[in-house]
């Protein structure tokens, strides 16, 4: 299963299981199309650009036939102060998370690099709605 993102993002592997073997596939980007084998000794940290592109995780299934299978995702999106738009993709093995047969495997953090999307992170001295700005 592929997830679609729009614009420039930084894609970082933020931990997970190393078994079974897994890889990240990126397609439709302007600069980073390809397959990236996940190795926790060499963390994945990519800058991906493109108007609309897709990212997916595949795992290697040995039985009954050796093949790469699309992993299932859960997706959460938030605006994080000082970072901007952050999309968390948690891939897993099994069926849909709503069916209760989902085992989380790896976590990808995708942070938007688009200055038009991300709000200005500088504190506003006239904003008295949060204590750290007052």
Is residue 29 within 8 A of residue 50, CB to CB? The reply is yes
Q: Could you tell me the pTM of the whole model?
A: 0.79
71 in Cβ contact with 93 (< 8 Å): yes
Q: For 30-79, what is each residue's pLDDT tens digit? A: 999 999 988 767 789 999 999 999 999 988 887 777 888 888 888 999 98
Where are the extended beta strands (E) located within 1-134?
2-5, 9-16, 22-27, 34-37, 45-48, 53-61, 67-70, 72-80, 84-94, 102-112
pLDDT over 70 (residue 83): yes
Cis previous bond, 17, omega within 30 = no
How do the domains of the chain map onto residue ranges? 2-133
Class of domain 2-133: mainly beta
């Amino acid at each position: 299963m592929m997830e679609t993102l729009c614009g420039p993002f930084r894609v970082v592997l933020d931990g997970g299981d190393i078994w079974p073997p897994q890889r990240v596939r990126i397609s439709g980007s302007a600069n980073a199309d390809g397959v990236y084998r996940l190795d926790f000794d060499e963390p994945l940290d990519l800058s991906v650009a493109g108007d609309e592109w897709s990212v997916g995780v595949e795992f290697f299934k040995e039985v009954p036939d050796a093949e790469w299978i699309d992993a299932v995702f859960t997706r959460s999106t938030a605006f994080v102060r000082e970072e901007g738009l952050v999309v968390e993709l948690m891939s897993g093995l099994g069926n849909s998370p709503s069916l209760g047969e989902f085992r989380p495997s790896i976590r990808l953090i995708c942070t938007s690099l688009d200055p038009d999307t991300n709000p200005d992170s500088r504190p506003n001295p006239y904003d008295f709605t949060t204590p750290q700005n007052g």
